[in-house]
Amino acid sequence: MSEKSQILFMQTRLIRLASEVWNMPIEKILNIFEQYNILDYIETGYGIFHCEGDEAVLDDITELLERKGMKVNAGIV
Q: Domain-by-domain residue ranges, the chain? A: 3-67
Residues 14-47 pLDDT 10s: 999 999 999 999 999 999 999 999 999 999 999 9
Whether the predicted pLDDT of 76 surpasses 50: no
Cβ atoms of 61 and 18 closer than 8 Å: yes
Cβ atoms of 24 and 70 closer than 8 Å: no
Q: What is the pLDDT of residue 74?
A: 47
Output the CA–CA distances (angstroms, integers) from residue 32 to 2, 19, 24, 48, 75, in the order listed.
27, 11, 11, 22, 12
Mean pLDDT of 42-58: 95
Confidence of residue 73 (pLDDT cuts 50, 70, 90): low
